[in-house]
Amino acid sequence: MTTTLLITRQLEVHDHLLARGWRLDGDTGPADVKFLDDATAGWSYPASFGGRRTNEVGDTTPMVLQCYFTFGDEGEVVFGVLPAGNLRGSGCAKHDTRERLFPLTGTGHVDLVTLTAMVEELEPLARAHDVRALVECRYFGPCGTRRR
């Protein structure tokens, strides 16, 4: 893969997500070849949880909606979307976070139509999540199963 293609596809996603109100995360920018190998690089949706800030507490703090380039099972580059909510397997299905991976197009780009459809579904859910409800779901049992 050429450096030009690598940077072009990163910048396409970057421009697309920033136009939707997302922010860049990590130590490198999408115009950097090292962006793909930076485990902290990607984008997050600051309007998650109604835009309220939460303190970061290890594996406890619910995840905000985020996107990133990563590697698939066969080592191929894929694009990942992590919905806002509790880490996988902790809490109810409504509040559970399951990473969604999709392959790049035949030309090596992110399918922005598919990405747009996915984030249009996930952004309102991320905005509506209540951090307190997520934490209670995680630590006191899945929603609807708690004894009173």
Proportion of the chain above pLDDT 90, given as a percent: 48
Asked whether residue 148 is assigned to any structural domain, the reply reads no
Tell me what pLDDT residue 17 has: 96
- Residue ranges making up the domain that contains 38: 3-48+61-140
Structural domain count, the chain: 1
Determine whether 44 is exposed, middle or buried from the number of CB atoms within 10 Å of its CB (0-12, 13-18, 19+).
buried
**The whole model's pTM is what?**
0.87
Distance CA 93, CA 37 (A): 31
Asked whether residue 146 is assigned to any structural domain, the reply reads no
Q: Assess contact for 115 and 43: CB atoms under 8 A.
A: no
Distance CA 117, CA 119 (A): 6
Chain segment 101-123, per-residue pLDDT in tens: 999 999 999 999 999 999 999 99
